[in-house]
Amino acid sequence: MRTCCKNRITNIYLDFLKKNSGNTSILDARIKQLFEKFSGCSLFFRSYAEIRTANLKNNVTAQAITFRCPECRDNATLVIINAPLLLLIWRIATFFMGQIARWEFEDNKIIIEKRPPDEDLKSAFEKMLDEYLSGDTLDPLIVEEELEKLNGIPEHCKEVFFNAIDYAQMWVVAHEVAHAISKDILSIALPEFAAIREGSENFVEGFNLYSSVAAKWEEEFNADLTAILILFTTEGKRLNINMDDVYNREMIASQIAGGVGLACDVMYHIVRKNFPYYNADANDLEHPPLEIRWAVAKNYITHISTPRPTVSLFYIAETIGIISASLTKCL
């Protein structure tokens, strides 16, 4: 992206903040940190869009602003990610981490033992969600204090969950950027995107939705799977590993699955709290239900990793789901 476009984007971003939230988000530094880790993704995204964070209203996940640069006349896109959502992913993941008593390897098996939650923990979990949904600005994280809360958590557990947080946040960013980039550009940059589009269209046909709703569902599935594809293809390059090796493919796939599972779980709880008694007809939903999005994501992760997985690709995501269910009063 040209310097003139970047300068224009900065001005648009600052103007957006002035009108909407009044200050720059502390999580811009987190986006930078993620891009430093996922360097391949960073290069891909920054070729087509600039990503910033802000406190968005009404629980909007992201907002894209596309414009024509007045100097070079190129099109440029600014994608603003909702900072509180990224913050909530961290908070819920670390809350879940506190429920792990043991996480070890024994004879090539993973031994995971969980603590039974009490009513106080369940109440604290619901309070965390209520604070997010209130729309009030969330208190910033103080890293040292947050890490102190995790003293006593098994080290391997912390490593796995911190990776899940990274992948969850990066998947959210990748999903929103995939929405903002045109289908023509994605088709050129990612040859596999054509198969994703065809698969999404065929899958949605089975729901007999109104054409306008079907188009929105297809867009969501396209963005979900494109984000997974970008993470999967760029991670092999970042780690400089042989992606023809089944073990390497499964390792990366299981970590991405953990992140996507965490993000879906967080969004599920947001929807659950917003609409506790909502049982809408599919044609009333602009987004596919999260359980369907997660099922489609799992199928795609299995597809791109290996035809016959030798390990459970979803043990991290499944562990997150079990802890999540145990903390939810209504389950």
Which of these, 266, 262, 283, lies nearest to 274 by C-alpha position?
Answer: 266
User: What is the reported pLDDT for 204?
Assistant: 93
User: What is the reported pLDDT for 238?
Assistant: 77
User: What is the reported pLDDT for 331?
Assistant: 40
Instruction: Assess contact for 202 and 71: CB atoms under 8 A.
Output: no
The pairs formed by 295-301 with CB atoms below 8 angstroms and a separation of 24 or more are: 296/203, 296/221, 296/224, 296/225, 297/224, 297/225, 297/228, 297/257, 297/260, 297/264, 298/257, 300/196, 300/225, 300/228, 300/229, 301/228, 301/232, 301/253, 301/256, 301/257, 301/260
DSSP 51-67: EEEE--STT--EEEEEE
* Residue with the larger pLDDT of the pair 32 and 212: 212
How much is the pTM?
0.89
> Position 189: which residue type?
A
- If you ran DSSP here, which 8-state letter would residue 310 be given? S
Average pLDDT, the chain: 83
Poorest-pLDDT segment among 71-85, 151-165, 177-191: 177-191
* Residue with the larger pLDDT of the pair 278 and 314: 314
User: What pLDDT digit, counting tens, does each position of 166-225 carry?
Assistant: 999 999 998 998 888 877 777 877 788 889 999 999 999 999 889 999 999 999 999 999
pLDDT bin (cut points 50, 70, 90) of residue 278 is: low
User: What pLDDT digit, counting tens, does each position of 248-273 carry?
Assistant: 888 889 999 999 999 999 998 888 87
Could you write out the three-class secondary structure of 91-147? HHHHHHHCCEEEEEEECCEEEEEECCCCHHHHHHHHHHHHHHHCCCCCCCCCHHHHH
Instruction: Assess contact for 319 and 113: CB atoms under 8 A.
Output: no
* Model confidence at 87: pLDDT above 50: yes
Nearest-angstrom CA–CA distance, 10 and 50 = 9
202: Cβ–Cβ under 8 A, 6 or more apart, which residues?
none
Which of these, 231, 223, 264, 224, lies nearest to 92 by C-alpha position?
Answer: 264
Helices (H), the chain: 3-20, 28-37, 39-46, 83-97, 119-133, 143-148, 155-180, 183-189, 193-205, 211-239, 246-274, 290-305, 315-327
User: What is the reported pLDDT for 143?
Assistant: 65
